[in-house]
Structure 1
Amino acid sequence: MTDPETGILTTPMHGENIDARGCFAYWEIELRAGSVNLYSDLTTAPIPVAALRESTGGAPGTSAIYVDFMKPRGLYDELRAVLRVGGRPQGTISLFRTSKAFSRADVEFVNSLVPRLATRLRSYATPGPYAATMGGPGLLLFDTAGSLVSVNDDARHYLEDLPDGGPSTDSPVGLPVPPWLHTVARKACTGPTRIRLRTRGGQWLVCHASPMSEVGGAPQGSAVVIEPAKASDVMPLIADAYELSEREIQVTQYVARGLPTEKIAKELFLSPHTVRDHIKAIFEKTQVSSRGELVGKLFVEHYRPAAEQAARDHS
């Protein structure tokens, strides 16, 4: 899966016939030297699916992924797809063949599956069974080589509660590093980045990563912070999962603030009748029957279990 706002790899992730070191190497090459069929390019391409040999005119040697990853492993061609819906990436797929190139028919077939697969992944954000993970900010420090060198107990706790992140590599601190975490730490070396993750218990976390530097400005690796997400972090994902339009999201935000129909209409330069139509459509998409239920589903349900757990802990 990917974060739909940044397109950065997140979790869960599934890999077959690839070991941890190979998975690590694949994403390292993609981040450092990728140039052909980049996932970031496919996100906005007219067709978000591409085969390596077709894209390079039969000359895959122009691709670092082929030279440094595929050729040493006896892989002949790669087909990549960004699973996007509504212009937002929800996940990625990478398929390999050892002796035969992917055809145009293969590309078109996978492309025909993209909307359905992406919609399914997007639905992952809708509220469901929830078990809160309590704790403070988790901190992980990476050196300039991308190796995890320090981690606190809260970070360990959050990582243990996440779905399978794919093949992981070992680290000096004894904590497996999944591909998404390595990717976030690496991307942070060039600037702050952020993704959101959902635990096995249903809680949303936000992962911030920033570059670090020594006194004098020399690069010093990156710092990654994992902590419980705020409602403002989660609401866009949930709204997107319910297929709310941009205008419907705006109306929902004003509803959450308690504004009546007339004031919402004034704020958005709409007629009250149009606002009521939007609210009706929002109710149908989210399967609620009142403003209170809507606010509960999009803003409150994410936190109610945590609040209930805290109350039990103090009773």
Structure 2
Amino acid sequence: MGSRGARGAAAQQAIEGLKELVGEGLAVEELFRRADELLRGVLEYDAVCWHSADPATGLVTSVLSDDLSLATFEDAVRLEVWEDDYATFPKIRLSGVRAETLSRATRGELSESIRFRELISPAGFGDELRAVFDAHGGMWGCAAFMRGADRGPYLGQQRELADLAARHLGNALRACHLPAVGEAGPGAGPGEGEPGPAVVVLGPSNRLLAMAGPAEDLLLRLADPSRTSLGVPTAFAIAAEQARRTACGLPVPQTKIRVQDRDGQWYVLHGSALKGGVAGEVTVVAAPATPADAMPLYLSAYGLTVREQEVALLLVRGCDTRDVSRLLAMTPYTVQDHLKSVFAKAGVASRRELVARIMLGGGAP
């Protein structure tokens, strides 16, 4: 077999391996490490930075990298939130593809990218390949793959392979966030009974200045897999930068960020710029997600289509088949077909069980 055929066989083997990850029940960190083992040889990268994300907004909430120094990670966060660069994660999402290379986005002029000039090139890398891990309407994570400057740009077939791999990784990450039956639901997680929400105050470089409530415990539960220069989890730094953009009158995807801790509990983070204090200081408040915040995430995690999610949400609101049929302009038979699919994906046998499963985030009816 020629080298081209061998590369094709290796790529197919990597894709098959990624498909198998969907049903293995891995934690996010272990999933990324397994994906690295499968993809490094075929994509031919020298370093990778893995991220989980808020499925609703696509905002990055954690970082994992065994290859890169994260001693200046605050600069990466700043560029990601503030700069309108080439091949950013949001732009890739909007483009209709799941993977893009910096060389293709800049038409070979890598120095046109501020990310390349300030971060990638000083670290000794050349082309960058980025991928977003979307599945069932949510972006569950993303990654940036860097290769040495002497290796040249990524090939077209490598970008296409990354695009295909991203689809399977999206499904695998979605499955990682699927609540286990019997888990506590929103608002009943580890923080129950503690004195109010967690509050942290961050300085202009997102260094921790003060905290209140159960913040110390929550910061540990939401800590990044890799140690960074921030001093707080990535999700808090992103929430703070979003607040600073809002204070400047600039648009943001959403003012709140959803993040899941290692026990499966969802939290909502909301940042606010302080007035009358030191410029750039921000307060970030984190509280367990309410059912209204968590339900769309659970429905997406179960793999429901957009139409199935609409049907399920109406059932939660107390609608019967006739109501759903009228509100969604579909026949009762179509509603029943959607219900069967919803029940199967959520692992329930009745509407009552479905409502309990969604409201409790996987808890037993």
Q: TM-score, normalised by structure 1?
A: 0.85
- The one-letter amino acid of 2:358's match is L
Cα-to-partner distance string for 1:78-120 (whole Å, 9 max, x where unaligned): 1111112245322111111112121212111111111100011
2:273 is the counterpart of 1:211: yes
Q: Retained in 1: the 8 A contact 2:273–2:282?
A: yes
Counting only pairs closer than 5 Å after superposition, residues 83-98 of structure 1 correspond to structure 2 as 83-98=133-148
- The one-letter amino acid of 1:252's match is A
**Partner residue of 1:121?**
173
- The one-letter amino acid of 2:172's match is R
Q: Retained in 1: the 8 A contact 2:197–2:213?
A: no
Q: TM-score, normalised by structure 2?
A: 0.74
- The one-letter amino acid of 1:25's match is D
Q: Retained in 2: the 8 A contact 1:163–1:200?
A: no
**Partner residue of 2:331?**
271
- The one-letter amino acid of 1:133's match is P
Cα-to-partner distance string for 1:202-225 (whole Å, 9 max, x where unaligned): 21111112233228xx95532211
Counting only pairs closer than 5 Å after superposition, residues 59-78 of structure 1 correspond to structure 2 as 59-78=109-128
2:31 is the counterpart of 1:31: no
- The one-letter amino acid of 1:4's match is P
CA positional deviation for 1:226: 0.6
- The one-letter amino acid of 1:10's match is T
- The one-letter amino acid of 1:212's match is L
User: Helix, strand or coil: the match of 2:338?
Assistant: helix
2:228 is the counterpart of 1:168: yes
Q: Retained in 2: the 8 A contact 1:78–1:95?
A: yes
2:124 is the counterpart of 1:106: no
CA positional deviation for 1:163: 5.6
CA positional deviation for 1:187: 1.9
Judging changes above 3 Å, is the alpha-carbon distance between structure 1 residues 59 and 250 closer, same or farther for their aligned structure 2 residues? closer
Judging changes above 3 Å, is the alpha-carbon distance between structure 1 residues 139 and 56 closer, same or farther for their aligned structure 2 residues? same
Q: Retained in 2: the 8 A contact 1:169–1:178?
A: no
Q: Retained in 2: the 8 A contact 1:52–1:79?
A: yes
2:130 is the counterpart of 1:130: no
User: Helix, strand or coil: the match of 1:80?
Assistant: strand
User: Helix, strand or coil: the match of 1:35?
Assistant: coil
CA RMSD of aligned residues (A): 2.4
**Partner residue of 1:17?**
67
**Partner residue of 2:40?**
none
User: Helix, strand or coil: the match of 2:245?
Assistant: coil
CA positional deviation for 1:302: 5.6
- The one-letter amino acid of 1:54's match is R
Judging changes above 3 Å, is the alpha-carbon distance between structure 1 residues 71 and 271 closer, same or farther for their aligned structure 2 residues? closer
CA positional deviation for 1:232: 1.0
- Whole-angstrom distance in 1 between the partners of 2:96 and 2:360: 38
CA positional deviation for 1:70: 1.7
**Partner residue of 1:157?**
217
User: Helix, strand or coil: the match of 1:90?
Assistant: strand
- The one-letter amino acid of 2:270's match is H
2:61 is the counterpart of 1:4: no
User: Helix, strand or coil: the match of 1:247?
Assistant: helix
- The one-letter amino acid of 2:202's match is F
Correspondence for 2:239 among 184, 189, 194: 184
Cα-to-partner distance string for 1:270-312 (whole Å, 9 max, x where unaligned): 333332222122112212111121112111246789xxxxxxx
CA positional deviation for 1:198: 1.5
Gap runs ≥5 in structure 1: 171-175, 306-315
- Whole-angstrom distance in 2 between the partners of 1:40 and 1:207: 20
**Partner residue of 1:242?**
302
Gap runs ≥5 in structure 2: 1-51, 247-253
- Whole-angstrom distance in 2 between the partners of 1:68 and 1:158: 32
Judging changes above 3 Å, is the alpha-carbon distance between structure 1 residues 87 and 269 closer, same or farther for their aligned structure 2 residues? closer
Q: Percent identity between the aligned chains?
A: 27
- Whole-angstrom distance in 2 between the partners of 1:255 and 1:88: 22
Q: Retained in 2: the 8 A contact 1:165–1:180?
A: no
Q: Retained in 1: the 8 A contact 2:356–2:364?
A: no
2:204 is the counterpart of 1:144: yes
- The one-letter amino acid of 2:221's match is D
Q: Which moved more, 1:260-269 or 1:35-44?
A: 260-269
Q: Retained in 1: the 8 A contact 2:200–2:284?
A: yes
**Partner residue of 2:38?**
none
